[in-house]
Chain A
């Protein structure tokens, strides 16, 4: 071993140690801080699939195509460069190559050379996006960290190319050990191309140029290793694991055992799970979440990215403190609500899941926000004034409205509908779960009536629960009042069991999501259909026929995706197929399907006032207006309420209609 080998070996040992030491500290936090348990299933098939799709193929990144391609190339470049770097250090230390010449070595050197060029271009592009184009979602990002990492990556590639070009120009002489000396030119196409651009250096400089490049390259790599876990680039290590560990049930908040637990929801960093810690470690402040957040888009200060980042910083700081002071956990762990996370931001969330949908590393922002709402409501009794009324009404009247619950089925009077609260022994095949909004709200009662008309026309033998139906608990759950939600769910589950109900159809995506995905944990398995799925099948099975729109009609339809139907349950096609069954006069709005903009009503926001910034629903109506839609079709009573209001308050009544899927079909039944 010569001096260079010894120095490089010592350097790399220090860097690797520093890398793993920080990882140890981080993982120590996740293990030693008394955390909550996540909902985990083995679920191997899904895990392998998402690992391949979202890590190796970088699947979720392409939702933002320009940044996505850039990042994917950088990522793949990293992997091949990793292989190259192992070889680089191996050959430096042990003086012979790890990958002896052959096909594997050829492939590595070829791809490394190609990617060196691509990554340098990438680095420049990334810098232009941040400091040149000033793309909005990077606002508030950590500029130093971003710049530093780009310089490190750039230098690593640059120094590699310097050495490679020197070699190709035949100048390297005795220092050829670090490159694939004498390789055919076609194996190093970028370097070969560069030899035409870069003149040969005078031989007296070669020594200095080479050793500068060599040491910069070696040190760059070591700094990189030390720096990664100590910066936001920890995501390089954490994100693949975060994807692998993703629960797949992030839309459902964790259950609470009120008999056993004494503190509820998330108040300080002890109240998260180790999976949440991976979320925090995986965040690299890319800002896709905040960029797609409806609250943030309409001038509210809520930023899902900042929420994740603020907790991460708190975990880092308080974790460090806890490692020193393990005797007094209550002194170390202080609440994150209020400072740094504002209470009002927690209440601005519509739980639309746009942030979760967009996040490339599968961070679950929404359940954390709900958990912090729970902390406020269940531990401190803090909630916006309007939601106190909401809670009171659900408790007293089993619905968000202060209306006599015995009148719940009154909308169906004279419609000849089987009401199980009046006729308990009736025979029926399907239960139509009406939901509170369609039961009590005048505008939305038309949805209930239209669904009834369609089901009757198709000859479906259905019944409603009438006054036995109660709020599913969703508004309470999403506003953090799990105690009340728990009570409502148990009461409904009791009814389902007592009435032996299995098959349910509902026109409310919020009820749909609760009944389909969340009631399982309470011991009732239901076969639940949203009316969009059900009506679509009635049409394709020819149980109903729908009058086509005349070709000279000037009507133009668009469809507004409901969050709880779309992102929560991946139902995007059925509603569009229903509209397609009678017309081709259809155009998508900006932001549709998985990228759809919320109406502003989810997460209990339907019952709260929206005073900060502008209204989300107004923004959505403007998008519909931009494509001159004459009818906006919705599939959710919440969306109906918000958009119908927005249509009126923005003076678009004359040119635009809001109609539920069931209404457009009921009107066109033949």
Chain B
């Protein structure tokens, strides 16, 4: 089988290539940055799009490559751009589409996929003849291959949309998707000042601090780019430490890929304990200093 894989994000692109390279031949498509960074993950060829990228022109370009390369399936990362492009593409190609997959296997031309549904409460397993898939971030770890992809530069067709200006985002520079250890705080912290008590632990484990939806969106104790969950970032760290995180399903859907989950919560019936490897029932303000002390 032959797959066309597109993402403007290097991390997603290399994850998708890693995941799919065992299942068939992979042709990568990226923007200048993502294509060069994802060029050694085992894709046969890597197309690098120059200039502005907008969903209508990317859709056209992917459709052309689909025909030219004799592709069976197209995979797009489920970013803002990826989802829009996938929607346009499915109509223009008249092809079936399955969104947000986090697992796929093939039986002949039939694809068996899994995706979250009902806000992460359930997983839908579906069988389809779909040709287009959007892929949830973190479908796999990105593992380099010894095969280097041939990078081919090309320009996207002209878009109907005019770009007037660009404003770079002011970001705290969070890097929670790539962090090895994530310390995630939840509503159970009680107060914003409680972050000061958590910081020593974050430093001791050389980790990144993240938060649940209420912490990042409702209370704004942390920036929005540190939110883990279905509506935030999906992370797969080696260790996830949840502090005062109750374990709402929307949150679990964002950290399910973690290798080891540690939870600290005073409520022993908190659902997070069902989703953790190690749980400590007790007051976080007493437990954290003790852990920090033993770590140093």
Contacts and interface: CB of A to CB of B under 8 A. Distances in A.
B267 A653 contact: no
A645 B189 CA distance: 10
A649 B193 contact: yes
Nearest to A645: B190
A648 B285 contact: yes
A649 B219 CA distance: 16
B283 A649 contact: no
A653 B285 contact: yes
B23 to A, nearest CB: 40
A324 interface: no
B190 A649 contact: yes
Nearest to B270: A442
A541 B193 CA distance: 47
A653 B283 contact: yes
B267 A442 contact: yes
Interface in B158-207: 190-191, 193-194
A92 B201 CA distance: 89
Contacts of B267: 442
Contacts of A609: 219
A653 B284 CA distance: 12
Interface in A243-297: none
Interface string A380-413: 0000000001000000000000000000000000
A410 to B, nearest CB: 10
Contact of A645 (B191, B219, B266, B286): B191
Nearest to A410: B269
A616 to B, nearest CB: 14
A649 B285 CA distance: 10
A638 to B, nearest CB: 16
Interface in B20-35: none
Contacts of B286: 653
Interface string A633-651: 0000000000001001100
Which interface class (under 10, 10 to 19, 20 to 34, 35 or more) fits B? 10 to 19
Contact of A648 (B190, B218, B219): B190
The A interface is mostly helix, strand or loop, or mixed, namely helix
B104 to A, nearest CB: 33
Contacts of B283: 653
A653 B283 CA distance: 10
A442 B272 CA distance: 15
Interface string A159-191: 000000000000000000000000000000000
A37 to B, nearest CB: 41
Nearest to B267: A442
A649 B190 CA distance: 8
B169 to A, nearest CB: 23
A609 B285 CA distance: 22
Nearest to A386: B218
A111 to B, nearest CB: 60
Contacts of B218: 389
Interface string A428-447: 00000000000000100000
B279 to A, nearest CB: 16
B91 to A, nearest CB: 35
Contacts of A645: 190-191
A648 B283 CA distance: 10
Nearest to A609: B219
Contacts of A648: 190-191, 194, 285
A649 B189 CA distance: 10
A442 B285 CA distance: 17
A442 B266 CA distance: 10
A515 B266 CA distance: 33
Contacts of A653: 283, 285-286
Contacts of A389: 218
A402 to B, nearest CB: 10
Nearest to A649: B191
A264 B128 CA distance: 57
Contacts of B190: 645, 648-649
Interface in A609-667: 609, 645, 648-649, 653
Nearest to B194: A649
A380 to B, nearest CB: 24
A609 B220 CA distance: 11
- Counting chain B CB atoms within 10 Å of each CB, the highest count among A389, A645, A649 belongs to A649
Nearest to A648: B190
Contacts of B194: 648-649
A389 B214 CA distance: 12
B281 to A, nearest CB: 12
Interface in B247-296: 266-267, 283, 285-286
A648 B266 CA distance: 13
- Counting chain A CB atoms within 10 Å of each CB, the highest count among B190, B194, B283 belongs to B190
B248 to A, nearest CB: 10
A645 B244 CA distance: 14
B85 to A, nearest CB: 34
A342 to B, nearest CB: 24
A373 B16 CA distance: 54
A298 to B, nearest CB: 16
A392 to B, nearest CB: 12
Contacts of A649: 190-191, 193-194
B288 to A, nearest CB: 13
Interface string A522-557: 000000000000000000000000000000000000
A15 to B, nearest CB: 61
A545 B130 CA distance: 72
Contacts of B193: 649
A94 B194 CA distance: 81
Nearest to B218: A389
- Counting chain B CB atoms within 10 Å of each CB, the highest count among A609, A645, A648, A653 belongs to A648
A61 B267 CA distance: 49
Nearest to B269: A442
Nearest to A653: B285
A653 B289 CA distance: 14
A653 B285 CA distance: 9
A648 B219 CA distance: 18
A177 to B, nearest CB: 76
A387 to B, nearest CB: 13
Nearest to B283: A653
B81 to A, nearest CB: 31
Nearest to B220: A609
A142 B116 CA distance: 67
A609 B218 CA distance: 11
Contacts of B191: 645, 648-649
Interface string B1-14: 00000000000000
A381 B292 CA distance: 48
- Counting chain B CB atoms within 10 Å of each CB, the highest count among A442, A645, A653 belongs to A442
A423 B280 CA distance: 37
A158 B78 CA distance: 89
A168 to B, nearest CB: 71
A401 to B, nearest CB: 11
A648 B218 CA distance: 21
B143 to A, nearest CB: 40
B157 to A, nearest CB: 44
Interface in A571-620: 609
17 contacts: A389-B218, A442-B266, A442-B267, A609-B219, A645-B190, A645-B191, A648-B190, A648-B191, A648-B194, A648-B285, A649-B190, A649-B191, A649-B193, A649-B194, A653-B283, A653-B285, A653-B286
Interface of B: 190-191, 193-194, 218-219, 266-267, 283, 285-286
Interface of A: 389, 442, 609, 645, 648-649, 653
Nearest first, the 9 closest Cβ-Cβ pairs linking A and B are: A649-B191, A442-B267, A645-B190, A648-B190, A649-B193, A648-B285, A653-B285, A645-B191, A649-B190
Given A648-B191, A653-B283, 15 more contacts: A389-B218, A442-B266, A442-B267, A609-B219, A645-B190, A645-B191, A648-B190, A648-B194, A648-B285, A649-B190, A649-B191, A649-B193, A649-B194, A653-B285, A653-B286
